[in-house]
Structure 1
């Protein structure tokens, strides 16, 4: 990642619209990839719409990291509240115009560092099988395929040990 980017913990107020835009893009793209495109945020399933409309409430127990360039949010990732010694990475998204510059890797490494600081034993995630670029990134960063905890078809579950 170049010096032009910074990663910080989203505190709820500042940058809310930038985070909302990133989450909206993530969910709209995901629905499209699943074969159920929706025209806008209002048409997303309730759970996902709630994240976009009020990320502070949706992620109140989680750590939300945002990558910014020149004061604008260009990427995000959520590290969920720890349970049983591990947390989960969710909602990794980088603006398509910013991809290929190391932003996603820097966001995941920052989330892993937070999990280590918290003394967690591992971080896990699930990713759609067709997101091969994301899977390759996760594997480069030390995630390995593990037994699935999610019953949805086409999801691949990975875990990264921290100890």
Structure 2
């Protein structure tokens, strides 16, 4: 059982998970194709974060939303620690993110992930996301996959 809660971007568990995610992605992609968002560069009004803890209170995964113009938002920083994968935690995090987006009247969610992260792509497809073209601030990259979903 997992508990998902909203946290500030400077939450120590979130910072730890994001640093683990950055290390994971730096092994997969060259710097120019690694689109890691530095949390210190966004305002609290633009950014909302969730973290999942297991029944013992250990951080298991995280995710975030970066709000943009035109009622859209970008899913950022979704990460599940390896020992928690395969337990449907990704779906719980994406659902929590989508709930926050709906509460903030975002109607279009977009994301960028990498071609070597097939489990992530599978997760997003299961959650109803479809492939799309690159969106700002990105440009087409052979190592990137872009996806989107319209919310009701």
* Alignment partner of 1:153 out of 123, 129, 142: 142
Alignment deviations for residues 14-53 of structure 1 (CA, whole Å, 9 cap, x no partner): xx332122111111110100157xxxxxxxx9x95x84xx
Which residue of 2 is the match for residue 107 of structure 1?
93
Instruction: Give yes or no for the alignment of 1:128 onto 2:114.
Output: yes
For these two proteins, the number of residue pairs brought into alignment is 144
Which residue of 2 is the match for residue 119 of structure 1?
105
Gaps of 5+ in 1: 37-44
Larger Rg: 1
* Structure 1 runs of 4+ with >6 Å offset: none
> How far apart, in 2, do the equivalents of 1:112 and 1:82 lie?
14
* Alignment partner of 1:32 out of 27, 48, 53: 27
**SS at structure 2 position matched to 1:81:** strand
> How far apart, in 2, do the equivalents of 1:27 and 1:74 lie?
16
Gaps of 5+ in 2: none
* Alignment partner of 2:67 out of 81, 90, 109: 81
> How far apart, in 1, do the equivalents of 2:87 and 2:125 lie?
18
Alpha carbon RMSD of aligned pairs, Å? 2.1
CA contact (8 A) 2:9 2:48 kept: no
